[in-house]
Amino acid sequence: MDDMKEPDVMRWNPASGRVGCKGRRQPRFHSRILKTRPEAGFHLVALGLALLLSGCSTPVRLPPIETGVIERVLPEGPVRGLWAKVRLTDPEVEIVTTAPLAPDTANPAGAEARLLTVPKWAEAERTTLAVNANFFGGVGPLAPGEKDPGWFAGRPVDLRGLSVSDGVVVSPPRVTEGQGDPAVVFHADGHARIARVTEGAMTGITDAVAGLGPGGWLVTAGRNTGATALVQPKVRHPRTAVGVTADGRTLILLVVDGRQPGHSIGVTLPELADLMIGLGAAEAINLDGGGSSTFVYRRPDGTLLTNQVKGGVWRPVGNHLGVRLRKGK
């Protein structure tokens, strides 16, 4: 696992994806998120931004994925996490979610997926970036006296809420108290949105993953609404969040480690919302967290940037959200 200390990232205008400059040489942007001074607030502070401009004659198209580290020292302890921003309109970007199970008599009734760790899924799907997604649960009741076997790779599970892969519904939307679960949905024209999707509102969705309802969103129209989200909003846990910018053209992913004194104590949902707002999210939702929270990014040189999970063992999860880069587009 990567130690998360030094992910070099490219910075660009999020609206255009380009950097304007003068002269002949292309600009070089070097940015690093460093540990900030102790503070109670969760404001994103980017330190060490060095801009070397010798000028260039034309705008420069920069990479479709930007990554970085969040490090905070709070009175309660340290908080560490990894984030990524994905330019959905970049022709190289392809959103990937976990495909439906292949027909198999070995799949029990109600099974929508089989557990697989995020690193294994990312390797199999050749994604550059991947995180865990929906909450999930076991299929069928346990027999009298039977112990739950735990979350092991290959276990069949039921996904909680909407999951769509390449236009195919893997798990249908749930409706609780008259509302669909909060979901991030993707469309073929290169934009995403946060929505409560029901059976009658599936038109045009190519991919989707969901959090849990009937709770609220982490971020609503740029406001922190994390106190209304699920689950356990006031408790510090490892967390995974997904959000979009106001124009729906940039996807924002964030994974925060937790339950590891000395490394990261985790965050509450209002704190997670503040971090997402700091990263530019206009809308955001909470995905499955705890031991499921996983972030895997393959750098251009082939090395991996990952979060640090408690105990050093990745939990297999029910489904995944990833980004594959189509070279040559």
Residue 63's pLDDT is 87
For residues 203-209, give the mean pLDDT.
97
> Is a pLDDT exceeding 60 seen at residue 7?
no
Provide the pLDDT confidence category of residue 10 given band limits of 50, 70 and 90: very low
Residue 103's pLDDT is 87
Instruction: Say whether pTM exceeds 0.75.
Output: yes
Number of other CB atoms surrounding residue 267 within 10 Å: 29
> Is a pLDDT exceeding 70 seen at residue 245?
yes
CB 321 within 8 A of CB 121: no
> Is a pLDDT exceeding 90 seen at residue 207?
yes
Provide the pLDDT confidence category of residue 159 given band limits of 50, 70 and 90: very high
For residues 148-173, give the mean pLDDT.
96
For residues 48-77, give the mean pLDDT.
73
> Which DSSP string corresponds to 85-110?
EEETTSTTEEEEEPPPPPP-TTSPTT
From CA 78, how far away is CA 76, in angstroms rounded?
Answer: 7
> Looking at beta carbons, which pairs linking 37-46 to residues 24 or more positions away fall under 8 Å?
37/73, 38/73, 38/74, 38/75, 39/72, 39/74, 40/74, 40/75, 41/274, 42/72, 42/267, 42/271, 42/274, 42/275, 42/278, 43/274, 43/278, 44/70, 44/275, 44/278, 44/279
Mean pLDDT taken over the chain = 85
Residue 200's pLDDT is 87
Residue 238's pLDDT is 98
Residue 256's pLDDT is 98
Residue 106's pLDDT is 86
How does pLDDT run across 251-306, given as a tens digit for each residue?
999 999 999 999 999 999 999 999 999 999 999 999 999 999 999 999 999 999 99
> Is a pLDDT exceeding 70 seen at residue 1?
no
3-state secondary structure of 272: helix
Residue 325's pLDDT is 97
Residue 58's pLDDT is 57
Residue 108's pLDDT is 93
> Is a pLDDT exceeding 80 seen at residue 4?
no
Residue 197's pLDDT is 94
- The greatest distance separating any two alpha carbons of the chain, rounded to the nearest whole angstrom, comes to 76
How does pLDDT run across 78-126, given as a tens digit for each residue?
999 999 999 999 999 999 999 999 988 889 999 999 999 999 999 999 9
Please give the residue that has the higher pLDDT: either 45 or 262.
Answer: 262
Please give the residue that has the higher pLDDT: either 328 or 90.
Answer: 90
CB 241 within 8 A of CB 321: no
Gyration radius of the chain's alpha carbons: 20
